[in-house]
Structure 1
């Protein structure tokens, strides 16, 4: 059919009924109608193939889009962690200093107003010379104005570079680098007339209390400890520059610093305790300088945050443990409590991130969920978070198992074997991850019981409903029992619990089956005549069928197609043995054995008690022969089949067999019958 014919189907106002009427209104006779029908069928096939093609293309495009979305989601997740890390770093640098908020103020050696300011200045310069390593400049004719510890930042990405200590004089600015030995190493000096200080109000959207210092070597960026320190540095640098611009006589004595440059004594005792690197501080300040923590410990919190943001969880945990070990061995240095608090907070943050990672490892595949959970699980166990980790892991496994169960039910798969295989997989993975945590084993047992209850409820809801056939019930119960036995290999025995969950439902189903099967006995009329199979092939087929059931009818074959038993007896033999097999599988559970035997017993008695009506004038010898066959052959065969499958002796059936044999009376003398041999056997 040409493609133009299919274009009409794509219109919005297409009406199928009207379209068919237009096609058939000009048709005359049956042949034209058939031809039109073939055309419509051809159009239908064309449209169907086109739709399938479009559906396939859309499906492939959907898959590719889903892959891209998943990739973008992963990248956005990592980007989110990086942004959070940057925000935390900026906040930390704003609120705290790597020098533990050392104020480094200058204490006045005396509050006596008569003390000579020039003597104080010389004493301060002398202390600065003693503390600086490698400085060979001349500070004797300079006036000391201000000093303090700052952090030098990279002017491109604002990343901390190192700790710097600045000494501001009326003519020069001396920069010293803080060494690992908590000493000051001279770096460089600038003349105050050649520097300019610029206030940076906002740095990359975050206030970092930074100032930009334009020197002869270029721009250098420094971070102050807080806003007050930043404002003080701006004021002192401005005063130093103005002080240098004052013209002085050549031979005049060195100018005295203005009274505004005098430093107030600290108002609180805590200020003097925070002195660390000031060479003009008291002896207590020197002790604090000597007890500063190592550099790696100071920068460890920022490094840990960066590792967490970059998802390097193993490295961050290793650094956390290193910090904890160091703090455990030596916590006498200055700022140990603050660092310990940071480490504790970061450890809690890492645990939270790992738990979130573990929660996000959910997948439709249990194996994939367990594989993705191994990394955070291992780290959480190392962090002594086993109890929280095992709870999250079991919730993830619950979601994956129930998803796979729903898919299996939709696809008509073996849900029982799948469920117990999943439980065994979870138990093995759980015991591997928490092998050294015996307290977590109880959580696994509770989880197994809860999942078993949910599985049993779904099994009853979908497979063990009312009027379910007995053979179906037996298959379901046996499909549950065998995997339960296999779980014992890993030390997990759920058989007893599973039996208790199914006991009530299966018991009701056995009662229903007993009433239904007993009620069906005798509904069909039995002529009480030998069974005629009509053909030799039919006889051979019947004999082979009963051979598989454990019954041999060859001794009862007469003629080419006859069996010297009634058709009802032969059919009941098949029915009873099949029912016995189903009941035997159910009787493997001790609590169901009696109900299963009771069903077989009542079913057998119902058939055994049937008598021919008086109006039929049946041969009583033939009737007695059928009943004797049932007692002497059929019932023992059923008992043996039951015992072989259930691995238990059917006591009720054995009692029934004894009772029937005891109550049996000698049959009447049979009438003479002509018997001849056949070649069928």
Structure 2
């Protein structure tokens, strides 16, 4: 920080006081003073300045005119018996420093605009320093050339100078020659009085020390760069790359070393490009030509501004005139010196640069909209046509900066939230970049969603983890839909992009879902719980007017049908294994506690009336195989009902029928087996339990999701009615239905 001239005497006084203070410590404390020197040297100069500037913020002892640091320290040491007093005094000074620091911060915030103006002045000074550096370099080159010139070579030198002058006699070559060589520069003809000053090939030295051939064209108002085409066809040799305005660039000489010889740099905020010429003379000519062209352009602009301040009679224009008045502006463009722009429009490129540097994007967009409105009022004004390329370049830079706000890179934080994205999106929409804003917004939300999903770790059971993923994913989808509706409320054409994006995100989520749920390690009950959770959460998208349930079912269809078939096959395999080991014996539960446990388990499954099968206190006339099948069938029924959709309806009914028929065939085969001839009454009683009690419970459970299936259940009863005792079959009075009645 630069110290003001009025503060220098105070600085010297405090400096002397600090030295005296340190000597006093050496006198009174000897070697111990070295330990406490840092207590005094931490007192900064700016603190003293603020102390003397603001009387109310400090004590009278520091602000009095006769304050002496030496006497103050001397009295402090004499009156202090222990070091604690000095430490307390040091703490007071530190507190005073903190308070003064806070005051300084408040003043900084208060005078923020003054700091901005200072930054502008610094940038202007920087450009002037570049010019001074170039002028010094030119003078050095001239002196070196004068030292090398001899009397005998004067004639030859004159000849060379004459040749150079003849070479530069035609500074206004036609742009038509440039159009024949450079591809993509037809818009250069839009600006009147633009002409070529100098052109030529040279090498560009990049930051990685690689070189490439480039074609430079110095125009009257800019510097054009074109890439060399190695595989060219026809007269075109180059492709247009960039056009820099002379107002925004500076040319700087590069010190020669082993790697760079005859080089100069073109500085354009925030980049710098280095070019290498073949000879030192060519480099000097290029640098001089660029500087002279810049000065000529600045002189023309200055002359136009001065002429705009005078009326035809030579008197100053009234200061009361409104520069934004449309009629006066129209007269300004239509007058004889009509190449004059309003002051606010002349300073617009610099104002846009400042707004972008300060990240005041709203102000920058407002300036752009104001400029577009002004251009629409005067579409044929030639000064505006010349100004338009400069403004278009700034607008492109502004769009790039706003785009970067939504751009997602691997090392960039995603914690900005939807508010920051909404700001950039709204500004891009104002600039007429709705489609680009929509694409970037959805990509930004995709990155946030992907990052959030990765943060969820698989810990513990599968079902809780899947429920967390569903909650996170569909909540983010709903929030994205709400943000999208707010940002693009007036752009209905972007709605289709959101629908496509939502389908893609759901497809990616289902892939992750399937990798965790549809595996051999996950049971059917857990899988059905997870599927039910994702279906329920998918219905939340109705809040934003989006229904993707049909698309979700399409994505899950193959896996759901596979787990239904697998669960049916596992049930059939279990029935087969238990049938091979079944000996048709009643169950002995040994005590009333065991009996009550069986009754409670069956009641939990919805099967009542087990007491009617109990005899001798703890015996049940149901085999263990029958009880196991009852539990298996009802659990399978509950899980398959959760997976029911119109698509899976037939497969679920076929699986239930196949499972029940497999066990009843085992019952029928046991009745025909002579080995179980003595157990026929027990087998018939078990068959009656299955056909009457179990099927009745299953039918009631299916009525909620699969109504009108009485024909299906009655067909099963009729098919295996022969397995029951004749008395039970006659009492039941089963109604006969055709084979296809349930379909």
TM-score normalized by the length of structure 2: 0.51
User: Pairwise mapping of residues 194-209 of structure 1 onto structure 2 (< 5 A)?
Assistant: none
Instruction: Name the structure 2 match of 1:497.
Output: 551
- Choose the corresponding residue for 1:518, options 547, 559, 572: 572
Q: How many angstroms does 1:457 deviate by?
A: 1.8
Residues 468, 509 of structure 1: 8 Å contact kept = no
The verdict on how the C-alpha distance between 1:282 and 1:348 changes in structure 2, with shifts beyond 3 A counting, is farther
Asked whether 1:321 is paired with 2:369, we answer yes
Question: Deviation of residue 226 (structure 1)?
Answer: 7.3
Contact 1:278 1:285 in 2 (8 A): no
Shift of 1:477: 1.6
Shift of 1:385: 1.4
Counterpart check, 1:639 vs 2:699: yes
What's the CA shift string for 1:503-524, capped at 9, x where partnerless? 1122122222211210110413
More helix by share: 2
Matching of residue 356 in structure 1 with residue 404 in structure 2 = yes
How many angstroms does 1:630 deviate by? 1.0
Q: Distance in 1 between matches of 2:459 and 2:607?
A: 38
Structure-1 residue corresponding to 2:680: 620
SS in 2 for 1:591: coil
Mean CA deviation greater in 494-503 or 424-433:
424-433
Secondary structure of the residue aligned to 1:410 is coil
Measure, in 1, the Cα distance between the counterparts of 2:309 and 2:617. 123
**Distance apart, 1:225 and its partner CA:** 13
User: Which position in structure 2 is the counterpart of 1:228?
Assistant: 292
- Extract unaligned runs of 5+ from structure 2: 1-115, 132-249, 255-264, 269-287, 315-331, 729-743
Q: Does 1:598 align with 2:654?
A: yes
Contact 2:308-2:340 at 8 Å conserved across structures: no
In structure 1, the partner of 2:631 is 574
SS in structure 2 opposite 1:610?
Answer: helix
C-alpha distance in structure 1 between counterparts of 2:554 and 2:295, whole Å: 78
Q: 2:385 aligns with which of 337, 343, 347?
A: 337
Report if the CA contact (8 A) 2:478-2:543 is conserved. no
Structure with higher RCO (Cα < 8 A, 6+ apart): 1
Q: Deviations over 1:469-519 (max 9, x none)?
A: 221221222122111222223211111111111111221222222112101
Alpha-carbon deviations, 1:314-361, whole Å to 9, x = none?
Answer: 111111111221222235655211222222222221111111111149
Return 5+ residue gaps in structure 1 as ranges: 1-78, 95-199, 209-223, 237-265, 671-681
Quick one: distance in 1 between partners of 2:602 and 2:418? 50
C-alpha distance 279-501 of structure 1, shift in aligned 2 (>3 A): closer
SS for the counterpart of 2:622 is strand
Q: 2:335 aligns to what SS in structure 1?
A: helix
Per the alignment, residue 707 of structure 2 pairs with 649
Q: Are the aligned partners of 2:407 and 2:444 in contact in 1 as well (CA < 8 Å)? A: yes
Partner of residue 480, structure 2: 426
Could you tell me how far apart the structure 2 residues matched to 1:390 and 1:207 are? 35
| Paired position in structure 1 for 2:18 | none
Shift of residue 227, structure 1, vs aligned partner: 3.4
TM normalised by structure 1 equals 0.56
Task: Pick one of 433, 437, 449 that aligns with 1:389.
Answer: 437
- In structure 2, relative to structure 1, the CA distance for the partners of 1:382 and 1:313 (3 Å cut) is same
Shift of 1:416: 2.6
In the superposition, relative to structure 1, how do residues 447 and 365 fare at CA in structure 2: closer, same or farther (>3 Å)? farther
TM-aligned CA distance change 1:333 to 1:597, over 3 Å: same
Name the structure 1 match of 2:531: 477
Given the alignment of the two structures, is residue 299 of structure 1 paired with residue 347 of structure 2, yes or no? yes
> Matched residues in 2 for 1:478 and 1:366: separation?
32
Q: Which residue of 1 aligns with 2:601?
A: 545
Whole-Å Cα distance in 2 between the matches of residues 375 and 230 of structure 1?
A: 38
Counterpart of 1:536 in structure 2 is 592
Structure 2: distance between partners of 1:361 and 1:535 = 70
For 1:570 and 1:342, how far apart are their aligned partners in 2?
87
Deviation (angstroms), 1:277 = 5.9
Distance 2:654 2:333 in 1: 95
Give 2:491's aligned residue.
Answer: 437
Aligned to 2:501, what secondary structure does the other structure show?
A: helix
Mapped to 1, the partners of 2:514 and 2:458 lie a distance apart of 16
